[in-house]
Amino acid sequence: IQSIEHRANLDTIEIEGIPLIDLSLSHTTDINLLVSEIGNACNNWGFFQVINHGVPLELLEKIKVAAKTFFDQPMEEKRKVKRDEVNPMGYYESEHTKNVRDWKEVFDFLIKDPTFLPASPELEDDEMRTLSNQWPENPPQFSLLMFAREVCQEYARELEKLGYKLLELIALSLGLPSNRFNGYFEDQLSRMRLNHYPPCPCPELALGVGRHKDAGALTIVTQDDVGGLQVKRKSDGVWVPVKPTSNALVINVGDIIQVWSNEAYESVEHRVVVNSERERFSIPIFFFPSHYVMVKPLEELVNEGNPPKYKPYNFGKFNAARYRSNFKKLEVQNIQISDFKII
């Protein structure tokens, strides 16, 4: 149950939504316009939707079927691939955001399998550990789940290509070479998630996901037609619904781009509200750099008049601290980029 000040107002209101951007432009003059639109959306909202993004539309439908196929299994089957402190990939039904349990269940898997991550967040500890995906083996609906696995892997490959394209457009919008960010993702820790939000008997008290910002560089989400994602508008703090748009993908910049851009672009709070009538599915992919990347403001974007606003931090160690906190209710807030802010 959320504290009173963080509960959602479920009254339906018409309000201007986040920008909708067409990625199909191809000519030089059009690319300049597209880059400008991307920059304005990142600056003003931190969120936007894209259409004509190149991801096959039938694949968008298949990934939603794959999510439903997995979550429709009996609980005992889902728990056979439950994640734990040894392997944080797999199924989980008791995730907390801001120390309040979310009204959702998830299934996480890595884009690169296996993936290597520091074993602990301690800076002096050089030990590495290997993360691998967990997939259901020989469940009652084996053929259906094999289909779901293949669709998830195909979807991840397509979204990875789109992610690089968007990172290039964001780099250009900051006045940087298009490939400026690419090298940070050679051994990426990126992961994909299937989200299921069941109907909630008291949607005015709970949230599917509480208010938060994304710790990675970029997040790309496909959602069904139910709706529930809300973005905290930068200009006035109003929670704005992200209206489902046919065949569109929702994009948001994360904390890492906020640091790289030295706050030219800001990672924005968002949350998910639930309802008492319909289940909802969403599938985000979180673009995380390699474990050895030191995240800091890019030297091209800082100068005497605009000094660095953050101290460098190692993303692998940062990520290890976040994973560890998934399995205990903290008395303090999880590690944040604000911990590295230069006052």
**pLDDT one-digit tens code per residue, 255-283:** 999 999 999 999 999 999 999 999 999 99
How many angstroms separate the Cα of 57 from the Cα of each of 53, 63, 154, 222, 248?
10, 10, 13, 11, 9
- List Cβ neighbours of 56 (8 Å cut-off, separation of 6 or more): 158
Domain 4-340's class? mainly beta
pLDDT bin (cut points 50, 70, 90) of residue 139 is low
Residue whose tokens read 């008049």: 305
Assess contact for 56 and 222: CB atoms under 8 A.
Answer: no
Nearest to 111 by CA among 147, 71, 148, 161: 161
CB atoms under 10 Å from CB of 175, counted, come to 12
Assess contact for 258 and 337: CB atoms under 8 A.
Answer: yes
Give the model confidence (pLDDT) of 93-135 as tens digits: 999 998 899 999 999 999 999 999 999 999 899 999 999 999 9
Give the model confidence (pLDDT) of 193-223 as tens digits: 999 999 999 999 999 999 999 999 999 999 9
Domain ranges of the chain: 4-340
pLDDT bin (cut points 50, 70, 90) of residue 325 is low
Assess contact for 275 and 201: CB atoms under 8 A.
Answer: no
